Amino acid sequence: MGKRAYRSDRREADAAATRAAIRAAATQLFIEQGYAITTLRQVAKEAGVGERTLYAAFASKFDLYHHCLDVAISGDEDPVAVRDRPGMTDPLAEPDPAAALTAVVDYGIELLERAGDLIWVGVEAAGADERMSEFSRAGRRETQAVMLRFTTTLAERDALRPGLDAARAADVLHLLASPHTRRVLRRDLGWRVEEYREWLQGAAAQQLLP
């Protein structure tokens, strides 16, 4: 490896480490004190970086929140949407409807365990911030579309319970697996993740499958 390539790799690694530090600090502050109160100055101080460094990476607080949430939802920085990740595409090819539904539910639980509290930050901020409000609405629309794609696959295989169409099944699954439901069970009522998983798997199967 030449010196130029080495330096380029080193710069990329340093930039990734800086983003990770900023992301960790911002996520903690957003969750602990809310979106509105958190400032970029606070984030920079908590991350141990200069404000210029932070602004060079993220032009606004909204951009920073967007980045933090994207990475929390995806689990990495790869620019691949949830709908295109194996956790949501593999179940579409699973011939056993019960196994497919379990896989989708499990993937959703893993996602919300990473990102649920940060999603809730956006929900709470939406009432006073129009940009955050639209962002939250867009997230719900995308989630609904992902759920509908899955339940349509079940419907095409005659795997939904009698009287339930794909659209209503998507509504039900969206509700059961929503960050709102998780918030009540995991945070307000103190359910362990194993209890939440067992309930959600059972409720989804009972509501959707014959």
Burial bucket for residue 29 (CB in 10 Å: 0-12, 13-18, 19+) = buried
| CATH 1.10.357.10 domain position(s) in the chain | 89-209
Name the CATH code of domain 1-78 (choices 1.10.260.40, 3.40.50.150, 1.10.10.60, 1.10.10.10).
1.10.10.60
Residue pair 116/179 in contact (Cβ under 8 Å)? The answer is yes
pLDDT values of the chain reduced to their tens digit, one per residue, 210 residues: 455 555 667 888 888 899 999 999 999 999 999 999 999 999 999 999 999 999 999 999 999 999 999 999 999 988 899 999 999 999 999 999 999 999 999 999 999 999 999 999 999 999 999 999 999 999 999 999 999 999 999 999 999 999 999 999 999 999 999 999 999 999 999 999 999 999 999 999 999 999
Burial class of 131 by CB neighbour count within 10 A (0 to 12, 13 to 18, 19+) = middle
Which SS3 state, helix, strand or coil, does residue 76 take? coil
**Residue type at 5 in one-letter notation:** A
Right CATH for 89-209 from 3.90.700.10, 2.170.190.11, 1.10.357.10, 3.30.465.10: 1.10.357.10
What secondary structure does DSSP assign to 159-190, as a single string?
-SPTT--HHHHHHHHHHHTSHHHHIIIIIIS-
CA distance linking residue 185 with residue 152, whole number of Å:
28
Q: Where in the chain is the domain with CATH 1.10.10.60?
A: 1-78
**What is the spatial distance between Cα 167 and Cα 151, in angstroms, rounded to a whole number?**
7
pTM of the predicted model as reported, rounded to 2 decimal places: 0.89
**To 10 degrees, what angle do helices 61-74 and 97-125 make?**
160
- Which residue is it, tokens 């404000």? 51
